[in-house]
């Protein structure tokens, strides 16, 4: 089982390590990863699949050659594929991984699992995973659910079946999961870490509260007054947060709802290059190791012209494309 702690142990950790007062947490992506991502950590990313993925921090983890990370495969798609391809991950607990939804399967991820380079430590469903985070955020050891019962997904998970003491029916207990570090990309956040999100939250609300360390990259850093004027929109309050990094277009090439669409050309390039280990290395050389930072990366993927185009697609002003589509 990954990510479990005795609830009292985790309470103690929170008491000793999380500050309850306002601190300016702004720092660079490099500092955030150096300070809060350690080799061997159990790590999770906010967003979903190719949506609102904190890519600037993903690239930085690769650049700093972090190793032996244990990944929460909570519909981990582009983030998982790149981190596995770069050799940062050694274990994955899988709800959904090694695929790119309609874009097809993931060559790098599958190669790593089938060769034994990456080990799948357990299965679970999407609901099961996010309820692991719900239990953790509530500070309780598990949550009873009615999903996965009777399946091999349950058999190969860290869940247990017991009888509900009231109805007598079997229920599935999903154990709390506390990531060592969780990383999110949001549209706006203040210097203290009060973060707001537009559109679906997926499981970011629960994940941020379950994780010991929380790193945020944001399209823009805003004045705390903006938060205070509309506090009902705050999804992640400051006391959960350890680092705030300002990174415009920080989710590229994934979709940032209302702001920019997927960069399908770039995703297609990754899917193509990652067919072979040589191509995978070539991708990282071109887009991670040979650039100083995310700003230089954005230049390399097409700069202002490309980013304006992605804005137009998101706003239905330019048609979507599917360059990864196999011609049948």
Partner 1 sequence: MPESTRPYSDTEMMACAAARLLEDRRSVLVGTGLPVVAAVLAQRTHAPQLLIIFEAGGIGPQVPELPISVGQSRTFHKASAASSMHDVMSALQAGYVDFGFLGGAMIDQYGNINTTVIGEWEKPTARLPGSGGANDVGSLCQRTIIIIRQDRRRFVERVNFITTPGYLSGPGARERAGLPEGTGPYRVITQLGVYGFDAQTKQMELVSLHPGVTREDIQINSSFEILIPAQILVNERPTAQEQAILHEIDPLGISIGK
Measured from the CB atom, the residue of 26 and 74 that comes closer to partner 1 is: 74
Distance CA 235, CA 241 (A): 12
Q: How far is the CB of 243 from partner 1 (least distance, A)?
A: 24
Q: How far is the CB of 203 from partner 1 (least distance, A)?
A: 5
Measured from the CB atom, the residue of 116 and 165 that comes closer to partner 1 is: 116
Measured from the CB atom, the residue of 102 and 304 that comes closer to partner 1 is: 102
Measured from the CB atom, the residue of 35 and 325 that comes closer to partner 1 is: 325
Instruction: Give buried/exposed letters for 146-168 (b at 16+ CB in 10 A, else e).
Output: ebbeeeebbeebbbeeeeeeeee
Sequence-distant (≥ 6) Cβ neighbours of residue 181 within 8 angstroms: 36, 37, 41, 42, 43, 44, 211, 212, 213, 214, 215
**Nearest-CA neighbor of 129 among 107, 97, 101, 103?**
97
Q: Which residues in this chain contact partner 1 in the complex, by CB under 8 A?
A: 47-52, 73, 75, 77, 94-99, 101-103, 105, 109-110, 113-114, 116, 120, 123-128, 130-131, 134, 145-153, 156, 161, 169-172, 199-206, 255, 257-258, 262, 314, 316, 319-322, 325, 328
Q: How far is the CB of 239 from partner 1 (least distance, A)?
A: 21
Maximal C-alpha separation, the chain: 62
Q: How far is the CB of 189 from partner 1 (least distance, A)?
A: 19
Measured from the CB atom, the residue of 27 and 174 that comes closer to partner 1 is: 174
Strand 170-175 to 213-221 pairing: unpaired
SS3 46: coil
Q: How far is the CB of 291 from partner 1 (least distance, A)?
A: 26
């Amino acid at each position: 089982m990954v990510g479990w702690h005795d609830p009292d142990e985790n309470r103690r950790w929170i008491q000793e390590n999380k500050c309850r007062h306002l601190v300016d947490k702004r720092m660079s992506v490099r500092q955030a990863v150096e300070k809060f991502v350690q080799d061997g950590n159990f790590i999770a990313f906010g967003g979903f699949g190719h949506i609102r993925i904190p890519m600037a921090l993903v690239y930085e983890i690769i650049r700093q050659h972090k190793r032996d990370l244990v990944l929460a495969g909570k519909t981990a798609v582009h983030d998982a594929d790149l981190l596995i391809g770069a050799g940062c991950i050694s274990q994955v607990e899988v709800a959904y991984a090694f695929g790119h939804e309609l874009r097809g399967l993931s060559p790098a991820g599958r190669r790593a699992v089938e060769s034994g380079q990456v080990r799948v430590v357990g299965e679970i469903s999407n609901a099961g995973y996010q309820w692991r985070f719900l239990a953790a955020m509530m500070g309780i050891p598990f949550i009873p659910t009615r999903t996965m019962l009777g399946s091999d997904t349950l058999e190969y998970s860290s869940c247990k079946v017991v009888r509900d003491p009231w109805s007598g029916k079997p229920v599935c207990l999903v154990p709390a999961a506390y990531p060592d570090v969780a990383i999110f990309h949001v549209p706006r956040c203040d210097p203290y870490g009060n973060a707001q999100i537009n559109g679906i939250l997926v499981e970011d609300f629960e994940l941020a509260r379950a994780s010991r360390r929380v790193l945020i990259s944001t399209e823009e850093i805003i004045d705390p007054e903006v938060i205070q004027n509309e506090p009902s929109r705050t999804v992640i309050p400051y006391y959960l947060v350890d680092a705030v990094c300002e990174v415009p277009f920080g989710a590229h090439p994934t979709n940032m709802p209302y702001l920019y669409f997927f960069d399908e050309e770039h995703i297609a390039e990754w899917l193509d290059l990652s067919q072979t280990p040589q191509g995978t290395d070539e991708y990282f050389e071109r887009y991670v190791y040979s650039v100083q930072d995310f700003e230089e990366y954005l230049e390399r993927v097409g700069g202002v012209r490309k980013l304006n185009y992605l804005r137009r697609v998101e706003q239905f002003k330019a048609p979507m494309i599917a360059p990864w589509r196999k011609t049948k």
